[in-house]
Amino acid sequence: MANSIRNTAIAALFAASFVPPIGARADTPLNAATVLKEMPPNEFAVYIAGIVEGLAYARFRQDSAAAGQKVETGMTCIRRWYFDDPQIVVTIEKAFRKYAEHYPWVVIAALVKQECGE
């Protein structure tokens, strides 16, 4: 039951990462610049956490499939990178400004790759 609830929560967060910010029009590109400009801080935090959790779970699935057994090392690295660093939001905001034309999940995936590999 707990795993089912956890998996549902992760799936919801991941799905929420693709929802455009409030105020964005259908013809507005959902790039890092749009997210920084349009998304309120509390929504930004949830949006980013959803992307990070989605990447962490995808990494868990990839590593586990390759090994033929559960491998949580990559997933744990990604989660620690985000949740244990009190300055991570500042790092992400700087990256969003630098790579403003890219999709937010692409920018975060690049940051994760630098820290935790592929």
Contact yes or no for 88/81 (Cβ under 8 A): yes
Contact yes or no for 24/34 (Cβ under 8 A): yes
What integer is the mean pLDDT of 39-64?
96
Contact yes or no for 76/95 (Cβ under 8 A): no
| C-alpha to C-alpha distance for 38 and 112, rounded to whole angstroms | 24
pLDDT interval class at 7 (50, 70, 90): low
pLDDT interval class at 28 (50, 70, 90): confident
Q: Is the pLDDT at 26 greater than 60, yes or no?
A: yes
pLDDT at 13: 52
